[in-house]
A and B are shown apart, each in its own frame.
Chain A
Amino acid sequence: MLHYLIKRILMMALTLFLIITLTFFLMHAIPGGPFTSEKMLAPEIEAALNAKYGLDKPIWQQYLSYLQGIITFDLGPSFKYPGVRVNDLIREGLPVTAQTGFLAMLCVVALGIPLGIVAALHQNKWQDTTIMAIATMGVAIPSYVLATIALYLFALQWQLVPTFGLDSWQGYILPVLALSGFWLSFIARLSRSSLLEVLGQDYMVTARAKGLHPQTILFKHGMRNALIPIVTVLGPVVANLLTGSFVIEQIFALPGIGRHFVLSISNRDYTTIMGITIFYAAFLMLMILIVDLLYMVLDPRIKLGEKAQ
């Protein structure tokens, strides 16, 4: 087990190294640079800036010195925000993003799974049809459309919630709704189909034939098995939600890291692009590792790190 964990972590480090290398060279392959803008800078100023940030050096030298920084967890200075380091950018933005992301995650799990269960238990009845109709819309409607409509109705027309910012708890409602809408619907649909499949299994009839309580049958025998495919999806979803969404943060004017993700690319803010990518990649890999470990708890047939017999 420990052996397996060490192997996995080493593999993660290797993957991360490949991602860093690939992103670094791809990023530099995009024409333009951090200091190219419509207002042409005087050539000597641009040269001075390039020299200050080491952009005048050959690219392999830049790459090596960047790697050097990474090893000490230093993501370097932002090119766009003078005097701000990428570490600080993440440190400031992450709490905002993580808070809304965590609440969205909570909605996905605490609403999505139970809605799926209700739908599965009332297959083809009105409860099922209603939940699935809403969930299908939730999957189909893009989050920014949902966010804009919700903003217009709840914030502008009825003035129930603020239009932007997270100063009061009401401010969280719309961003969390917009953020969780897709995954909530997705998980509800997945939970339904997964549970329906399990309900049709022979061991569920056995459980009934043994005279067990319906709740024991549903949760101990049914959900435990139905959760396996749900957990598979939830890992990447956590990473996705906790690292934020550019569109949602832009619409609700939230100072999170999600917007840095996109803005840094158009700004050619090299260090920010790298920093956010590395952060997201590492987080995603960690979540996948957790999912794999959870499998073992849920399904005893899965033995990690052992060769199949």
Chain B
Amino acid sequence: MSSAPLLKVDNLTTHFHTSRGDVQAVRGVSFDVRPGEILGIVGESGSGKSITCLSILGLLKANGEVVEGSADFEGKLLTGLSDKQLRTIRGDDIAMIFQDPMTSLNPTLTVGEQLIETILAHKPVSRSEARKRALELFDLVKIPSAASRLDNYPHQFSGGMRQRVMIAMALTCDPKLLIADEPTTALDVTIQRQILLLLKDLQEELGMAIILITHDLGVIAEVADRILVMYGGMVMETGDVYDVFESPQHPYTTGLLHSIPDVRSHTKQRLTPIPGSPPDMLRPPEGCPFAPRCPHAIQQCLEAMPPLFERPNAKPTVHEARCWLHHEEAPKALQSIFDAPEVSNG
């Protein structure tokens, strides 16, 4: 709680209106992003992590709507702004990069043009100045022989290079917040690491905050300061990244940690997948969305939505989990699952 939050999301609720009814993609998500920090949002497909960020920037598809809650950026209420007002913030103060650099760049325009148009949309500069800026950005994201590559088309770049182009494009106006929606998912493993380190370097160099959306806990462990675990359109657990990895306070987080292979382990170890499948967001369950798949669920979990319970004495930041087992009346035997780190290999 060192400084005022850059972005404050409060009880954000997003629905998609479909012919079968409303899909409740995001159900009351609240979190803060502080200046210069990396917040990792983790969750499986359909957990609402991407939709949360698209809602903040007003980039939802036509049938999507923020029905409740707010997103506040430096005192400006983003959720109340018109599209015209949001345009001055998108790509300027808040930039976004996406999962698949193969499809996120326009195939019929040169990458230079795609960079230059972003600069011209936000800055009162001439074309040649914008081009100069584009060159600087290419150097910044370490694209070799930048000058000649500006006039290339996206298909002339490899996947990793395209993601660098996307990052350069996001950095055109020195954003205060960069939202990276699964920036490494579509890339080769070796390239994934390069891109992650590049993001981390840039974050330190430029002092921007990053929201890193991923379903890969390894990515979070590598770069994030804080973590937000989402499931069924809700925040399940949030806290400092070391805290959460050391002693997860939600069975879902524990489950996620169990389903990653540990290469350092020499014993033959089977991965433990989480059984079952995510809830139907057309009719989300009344109780904890994870309860039907939770090995420790009690009757209460199925009947009522648990609130976020704060873990006492968490450092350096608040550590909360949405689980009934933290209630003082919950069976003590079950509570003990959170005490000792259960991640015992072999």
A299 near B121: Cβ-Cβ < 8 Å: no
What residue of chain A has the Cβ atom nearest to residue B90's Cβ? Answer: A211
**Is B91 touching A210 in the complex (CB atoms < 8 A)?**
yes
Contact B87 A211 (CB under 8 A): yes
CA distance A301 to B104 in the complex (A): 16
Q: When the two chains form the complex, which single residue of A205, A207, A299 contacts B107, counting CB atoms closer than 8 Å? A: A299
Of the A-B pairs whose beta carbons lie under 8 Å apart in the complex, a sample of 17, sorted by A's number, is A206-B105, A206-B166, A209-B59, A209-B95, A210-B169, A211-B86, A211-B89, A211-B118, A212-B91, A212-B121, A213-B87, A216-B121, A220-B109, A221-B109, A224-B108, A224-B109, A225-B108
Interface string of A195-214 (1 = CB under 8 A from B): 00000011101111111111
Q: Is the CB of A203 within 8 A of B104?
A: yes
Nearest Cβ on chain A to B169's Cβ, whole angstroms = 7
CB distance from B154 to the nearest CB of A (A): 9
Cβ of B92: which chain A residues have Cβ within 8 Å of it? 211
Q: Tally of A-B residue pairs with Cβ under 8 A?
A: 78
Q: Mark B165-209, 1 if CB is under 8 A from A, else 0.
A: 010010000000000000000000000000000000000000000
Are the CB atoms of B118 and A212 closer together than 8 Å? yes
Query: Provided the pairs A210-B90, A213-B87 are in contact, do residues A203 and B106 lie with their beta carbons within 8 angstroms?
Result: yes
Tell me if A212 and B95 are in contact (CB < 8 A): no
Given contacts A202-B98, A203-B103, A225-B107, contact A209 B91 (CB under 8 A): yes
How far apart are the CA atoms of A78 and B303 in the complex, in Å? 91
Q: Are A206 and B108 in contact (CB under 8 A)?
A: no
Chain A 213-239, CB-CB to B under 8 Å as 1, else 0, gives 110100011001100000000000000
Measured between beta carbons, the chain B residues less than 8 angstroms from A221 are 106, 109
- Chain B min CB distance to A236 (Å): 23
Q: Verify if A300 is at the interface (C-beta below 8 Å from B).
A: yes
* A133, CB-defined interface residue at 8 Å: no
Q: How far is the CA of A205 from the CA of B121 in the complex (A)?
A: 16
CB neighbours of A207 from chain B (8 A)? 106
Residues of chain A within 8 A of B212, CB atoms compared: none
- Whether the pair A202, B104 counts as a contact (CB closer than 8 A) is yes
B70-93 CB mask vs A (1 if < 8 Å, else 0) is: 000000000000010011111110
Docked pose: A208 CA to B155 CA in angstroms:
21
Given A298-B108, A301-B153, verify A201-B103 contact (CB < 8 Å).
yes
Q: How many residues of A contact B (CB 8 A)?
A: 23
A-contact 0/1 string along B18-57, CB 8 Å cutoff: 0000000000000000000000000000000000000001
Closest to A207 in B: B106
A232 to B121, CA, bound (A): 33
Interface SS, A side: helix
Q: Across the two chains, which residue of chain B brings its CB closest to A208? A: B59
Contact: B59 with A205, CB < 8 Å? yes
Q: Which residues of A contact B118 (CB under 8 A)?
A: 210-212
Instruction: Output the nearest chain B residue to A125 by Cβ-Cβ distance.
Output: B62
Known: A205-B59, A209-B96, A225-B108. 7 other contacts (CB 8 A): A206-B98, A208-B59, A209-B98, A213-B87, A213-B121, A220-B117, A299-B107
| Whole-angstrom CA separation of A251 from B153 in the bound complex | 51
A299 to B109 CA separation, bound complex (whole angstroms) = 8
A299-B98 contact given A209-B91, A211-B89, CB 8 Å threshold: no
In the bound complex, residues from chain A placing their C-beta under 8 Å from that of B104 are 202-203, 205-206
Nearest Cβ in chain B — how far from A106, in angstroms?
26
Q: How far is the CA of A137 from the CA of B98 in the complex (A)?
A: 42
**A202 touches which one: B100, B155, B169 (CB < 8 A)?**
B100
Specify which chain A residues have a CB less than 8 angstroms from the CB of B96 in the assembled complex: 209
CB distance from B301 to the nearest CB of A (A): 36
Residue from A212, A214, A221, A299 whose CB has the most chain B CB atoms within 10 Å = A212
A211 and B108 form a contact (CB under 8 A): no
In the complex, which of the residues B57, B106, B153 contacts A225, with contact meaning CB atoms closer than 8 Å? B106
B122 at the interface (CB under 8 A from A): yes
Pair A210/B98 contact, Cβ less than 8 Å: no
Residue of B nearest to A205 (CB): B59
CA distance A205 to B106 in the complex (A): 10
Q: A211 and B121: CB pair below 8 A?
A: yes
Contact call B88/A211, Cβ cutoff below 8 A = yes
**Lowest 4 CB-CB distances: which A-B pairs, in order?**
A211-B91, A211-B90, A210-B91, A202-B103
A210 to B172, CA, bound (A): 10
- In the assembled complex, the Cα of A76 lies from the Cα of B276 at a distance in Å of 80
CB-defined contacts of A225 to chain B, threshold 8 Å: 106-108
In the bound complex, do residue A301 and residue B155 qualify as a contact, i.e. CB atoms below 8 Å apart? yes
Which residues of chain A have C-beta atoms less than 8 A from B121's C-beta?
210-213, 216
- Cα A165 to Cα B104 in complex, Å, equals 54
Residue of A nearest to B62 (CB): A123
